[in-house]
Homo-oligomer: A and B are copies of this chain.
Amino acid sequence: MTARVTIADVARRAQVSTSAVSKVLRNAYGVSPAMRTRVRAAIDELGYRPHNAARALRGHASTLGVLLPDLRNPFFPDLIDGVTAGVGGTGYTVVISQSGSGPESESRAVHALIDQSVGGVVLVAPLSPQAQLEAIARTVPVVVLGRHDRSPYYDAVFDDDEVGAELVVEHLAALGHRRIAHVAHRDAGRGHPDTLLENLRARAYERAMIRLGLGHHTDIVWTSYSEEGGRQGTAELLSRPEPPTAIFAGADLAAIGALAALSEAGLAVPEDMSVAGYDNTWLASLAHISLTSVDQSAADMGRTAGRLLLERIGGRTASARISITPRLVPRRTTAPLS
C-alpha cells in the first residue's frame, strides 16, 4: 500500500502551486502553455491520478449510476451499453447497481447509489411512486427509463408500449387468432405506478383486443416478467376450459418460460400455440428459440437516457420526455391459426 500521489506532489515536481495543477487538470482558464506542459509532464512522471472522493467532496462527481431491477433480464446489457455509449468521452464512469424487487429495497439501493456521490442516476423501471422519484430528483439529476411518467423534475425515456402491445395483438389477430392471452407482470408491494411499462402493456393489450372485437376473449394472467412467471402463467392458461391459441408475454423472458411450459405440456409451437414476447433481446433471436418479439432498441434508449442525464447535469431544468417507437419482429413462434 504505497502512499498516494497527490496534487501537491505534482505541484512540487512542476514547481508550481497546487492551484495551477488543479487548473490544468480541469483545463480551466488562466494557464500558460508552458506551465501546462510542465504540469502534464509532472503528472505523467509521477503517475498521478486524481482522487475522486476529494473531488466529490468539492461537489464534482465522476460517476453516473444505473439502477436495474435485476441483472438477469437480457434486455439490460444492451441498455447499459447504450448508456455507456451515450456518456462516452465525457469522463464519467458508469456504475451499475441492482435494486432487487420491491419499493423498499429499490429505495435502499437508489440511496446507496446517491451516497456514492454519483452525478446523476438512470432508474430503470422503478417501482417507487412518482412523488418519491421527484424527491430523489431534487437531490440528483434523474432519468427514468421504462415509465411514461410526466414529471417536471425528471426526464423519462420509454418505448411506446401501447403501440408495441397493439402490434403484437394485431399480428396475432391477422394470423387468425382470437383467443389471445396475455402474461403480465405484477409488482411486489402495493403502489404499482400505472405509468410503469408492464401495466401499460397489459392495458394496451386489453384495448387492442376490444378494438378488434375480441374483448370477450381478453385473458390476462398476472405473474412476472421472468422465466418462472411465464411458465406458471402459461400453465394457468392451459388449464382454462378453453385455452388460448396464442400467448402474448410482456417480456421475452416470460415468453421463454411459456415455451418451456408448452413443451412440458407436449404442445408444439407454433402449430398448437403461437407465442410472442417483448424486448427483442438476443434470446429471442437465438436460432433455437426464434421468438416473435417487439423491438424497442435498447441501445437507443440507453444512449438517449445517457444523453439526457448529461444535459440535466449540464443545467437543463426543463423536463424531457422521449418516446421510442417499437417495431414488430416476427419469427418462428407465431403462425396462422390452423
Contact = CB atoms under 8 A, between A and B. Distances in A.
Interface of A: 1-2, 49-54, 56-57, 62-63, 70-72, 74, 76-77, 80, 84, 93-98, 111-113, 115-117, 138-139, 227, 231, 256, 259-261, 263-264, 282, 286-289
A151 to B, nearest CB: 16
B71 A76 contact: yes
A77 B227 CA distance: 15
A2 B139 CA distance: 7
B287 A260 contact: yes
Query: Copies of this chain, how many?
Result: 2
Contacts of A76: 71
A264 B287 contact: yes
Contacts of A53: 52-54, 56-57, 117
Nearest to A49: B115
Nearest to A56: B53
B95 A116 contact: yes
Contact of A52 (B49, B97, B117, B256): B117
B287 A288 contact: no
Contacts of A57: 51, 53-54, 57
Contacts of A56: 53, 56
A54 B77 CA distance: 32
Contacts of A52: 53, 115-117
A79 to B, nearest CB: 10
A97 B1 CA distance: 23
Contact of A80 (B98, B111, B113, B138): B98
B282 A72 contact: yes
A116 B115 contact: no
Contact of A111 (B49, B256, B261, B288): B49
Contacts of A116: 52, 62-63, 93, 95, 116
A96 B93 contact: no
Nearest to A263: B287
Nearest to A117: B53
Contacts of A72: 74, 77, 282
A166 to B, nearest CB: 27
Given A71-B77, A288-B289, 7 more contacts: A1-B139, A71-B76, A74-B74, A93-B97, A95-B97, A95-B116, A260-B286
